[in-house]
Structure 1
Amino acid sequence: MSLPDPNVLHPWPEQPRVALLKPLVESPLIEAGEFSYYDDPDDPTAFESRNVLYHYGPEKLVIGKFCAFGTGVRFIMNGANHRMDGPSTFPFPMMGGTWGERFDLLTDLPVRGDTVIGNDVWLGYEAMVMPGVRIGNGAIVAARSVVTSDVPDYGIVGGNPAELIRRRFDDHDVDRLLAIAWWDWPLEHITAHLTEIMSGSVDELAGAAPVS
């Protein structure tokens, strides 16, 4: 059995447009699970600088396992926020000079916490995720959607702002899928049961789960 390597940057060598995020990211503010990838025909290795914007911390971007990110996906982080409680939203202290002495005016900006992407999430072409959003396991975000609020497990959302279109499974099956958590199976077991994972029913997937 030949197993894929989650630490290889380009798992599909003839298509260097695909890059795994775990061996790519260097920022301590970004966590990426195994086999999550970004697809970009220009340069997927620029993900940290071109696709994760205004990321000054301390909030993190946490990405689960087996996520698929289409070209142009953007994560807008909390550093993009401006004050809105006064007459002007302009960040004067960033311009330097005497203004730079008043960085206290840029403190206490609204903070929504970490941005968290679950496991097995598909973000479509040019989807945008706003600060502090949590996208559940198995969710799908349609192309060019702007996600401003949390997405439930196995939800499909689309639009600007993104709204729930439907759930991929009913509540009972979603609970079962979360309990099965196939993304946490040993790699050998995943490899042996790709059919159940990719095209099987929930019953078939449950039947393939490792015996604890």
Structure 2
Amino acid sequence: MEKPNITKETTETLLETKFLKVFDLQYAPGKHYFDATRRSKENLVALQSEELCKTMLPDAVTCIVVLQEADKEAKLLLTYEFRYPTGQFLLSPPAGLIDPQDKQTEQPLLETAAREIQEETGLTIEEHDSMHVVNPCLFSSTGMTDESNALVCAVLHPEDLSHLTQAGAVGSECFDGFVLLSKAEAQEILRQGRDAHGMFYSVYTWAALLYFVSDLWEQ
């Protein structure tokens, strides 16, 4: 099937604010599809070529943080972060937007991940720790937005957890503590589809849980 023809000339700006924009992607005469995005019109995914789309940087990075203390069972580190559209504290991995300066580095995804982990947990990446990209770009909800996240796994070996803190929260970020999950506890949350308080969680939390319990972080 031939792809609908979306061009800059037929894309209309409906809303433009500092943090969010809405565009009308007129893909045929009289046919409209709406895109809520963080991106400028010039950087919309819908207007990129197929080759550019395959090599694009995502908007943000979600971090799968595994803590491996000496002689202890590995734990998945998650947080409770207030998510404004739901009005609830949701079980969440550390995550954040890629800053312009990150894009200038050799490894923008790892650079962003290291910064977000430090800001949201107080932990820094040391020489004996490891980081790797799990997935370079995942679209969040392609029926509504072109927003995307990379997944980065960080395996940290802290001597203790005394440095865990959420004092580095910036802007609208609002946290309510950490959760350290064993493999069995993570499996139970996956089975239930809810956290320990009975609340739902995001697809990126689901991805972090699944990656952890499948032991892929060790490979």
TM over 0.5: no
Q: Which has the higher contact order (CA 8 A, sep 6+)?
A: 2
Q: Which has the higher strand share?
A: 2
Classify the TM-score, shorter chain: under 0.3
* TM-score (structure 1 length as normaliser): 0.24
